Structure formats: structure tokens, C-alpha cells
Amino acid sequence: MGFNFHYLISILPDLFVAALINVRLAIIIITLAVVLGTMLTVLRSLKLRLVNAAIAVVISFVRGTPLLIQIFIAYYVLPVVGLDLSPEVAGVAAISFNTMIFVSESMRGGLASIDPGPLEAATALGLRPPLIWWKVVLPQLLRRLVPVLINEATIVVKGTALLSVITVVDVLRTAQQIASSSYRPFETLLGAAVVFLVLNLSISLAGKIAEVRFEATRT
């Protein structure tokens, strides 16, 4: 059975529709990760010894273990402790947790490049820390973080493909379902690959355009 290019083209529309699930999940994950990651960063800046030590251990584990294992933990272990989540929710939770850590660590790097001058001025004027965070630090931080976040977005999109392993019906699982009925696994999987290629290249392209826009307004 040779390679059938026309078949590949014919299933692409179905695959792109299935990809919307990956996109939707990715958006939820990134939003959660940015919000939670920012909160985590502020928490870490309080420099509470025990809290930061505990966070460091968690970070070490999250960065040192496969995302797939973290997804399995959310899917298999959480029910044992009473949290019975649907595959989608479990998967989103696992990837969000993973990405949240990444966001906080990236912020840590970004913080080092912020000019302390305005901070001193704000403190001297008597502004309280929460306001300084909200008005001075975070705006600069998020601006610096945009290119990093764009790159992370592509990683998150790739991560959503793993959710097919815990029965979420995304592009990959859809492709596998098509493959099992058509007996053409190579073409269907190649189709899934093409879909992700298009998705991620689009994100990177949008990111580059956004970066140009951001540069124009940078202080």
C-alpha cells in the first residue's frame, strides 16, 4: 500500500477541526499559567524561608520529571486522594501546573533586568508594595515576557497532544481513530503533524509581529 497524497489532503479539514480542541485547551492552560505564575512570583518575592524552600523542591520535581508522568499523576493519582476529574480537566490541570512553574522561573530571570531606579523613587514617594508591584514591576515584566510566552505557547500546544494518551479526543486521537478505520496510519499521522506545524508556525509568526509592535511602544 503506497503513500496516498490525496488521502492526506482529504482528511486535513477534519483534523483542523479537531485541532480546535487543542487550541481551546492551550488558551485555558496559558491563561491559568500566567495568572497563577504571577501570583507565585509575588509570593516568592516575600522571601519567606520555608515557603520558598518548599516551592524550590516542587520546582525541582516539576522540572525534573516528564510532563507525561505529571499528566498521569493528575489522571490516576488525584482520584485516589478524592479529586475525581475528567480527563480534560486533569490534563489541563497538569499542564497548567507545569507551565505555571515555567512562567514564574521566567519572571525570575526577567526581574533581574528591571531598572531599580523607578522602584526607589516609588518607595521614596511612599507607595505601598502591592501598588508598586501592580503599577511598576508587573507591566515591565510582562512586556519582557511576551517573546518567552509566545515560545512557551508553542510548547503548550505540543503538550496538549499528550492528552490523547489519557483519552482526550484531540487532533492526535482523532487521527488515530481515522487511522484505525482507514488502515492508513502514516498519512493520518502525517496529517496531524502538518496541523501542528501550521498551528505553531502561526503562533510564532503572530509572536514576531507582536514583538515588533511591542518594541515600538517600549520605554
Partner 1 sequence: MRFDVSILVDYWSLLAGGAWLTLCITLVAFALGYLAGVAVALVAILPGWLPKLVTGIYIETLRNIPFIIILFVVYYGLPFSGIRLPATLVGTVALALFASAYYAEIVRGALQALPRGQFESARVVGMSPAQAMWYVVAPQVLRTLVPPSTNMTLTMMKESAVLSSITVPELTYQSLIVQGNTFAPFEVFAAVTAIYWLIAIAIAELSRQLERRVGTAQVHSILANPIAARYLSLDARRPT
- Chain residues binding partner 1 by CB under 8 A are 1-3, 41, 44-45, 47, 49, 52, 60-61, 63-69, 72-73, 76-77, 80-81, 108, 111-112, 114, 116, 119-120, 123, 132-133, 137, 154, 158-159, 161-162, 164-165, 172, 179, 185-186, 189-190, 192-193, 196-197, 199-201, 204
**Beta carbon of residue 216, minimum distance to partner 1 (angstroms, whole number):** 25
Residues 6+ apart with CB under 8 A from 90: 71, 74, 75, 78, 166
**Beta carbon of residue 18, minimum distance to partner 1 (angstroms, whole number):** 13
**Beta carbon of residue 114, minimum distance to partner 1 (angstroms, whole number):** 6
Q: Mutual orientation of helices 5-45 and 49-64 as an angle, nearest 10°?
A: 160
The DSSP-derived string for 188-219 is HHHHHHHHHHHHHHHHHHHHHHHHHHHHHH--
Nearer Cβ to partner 1, position 35 or 201?
201
Nearer Cβ to partner 1, position 177 or 204?
204
**Beta carbon of residue 37, minimum distance to partner 1 (angstroms, whole number):** 12
Nearer Cβ to partner 1, position 146 or 165?
165
Please report, for residues 1, 67, 94, 182, 197, the alpha-carbon distance to residue 4 in angstroms, rounded to integers and kept in the order given.
9, 34, 37, 12, 20
Nearer Cβ to partner 1, position 93 or 137?
137
Give the Cβ contact number of residue 53 at 10 Å. 10
Please report, for residues 29, 151, 158, 216, the alpha-carbon distance to residue 93 in angstroms, rounded to integers and kept in the order given.
8, 20, 16, 36
**Beta carbon of residue 48, minimum distance to partner 1 (angstroms, whole number):** 8
Phi first, then psi: give them for residue 180, nearest 5 degrees. Answer: -70, -25
Nearer Cβ to partner 1, position 18 or 192?
192
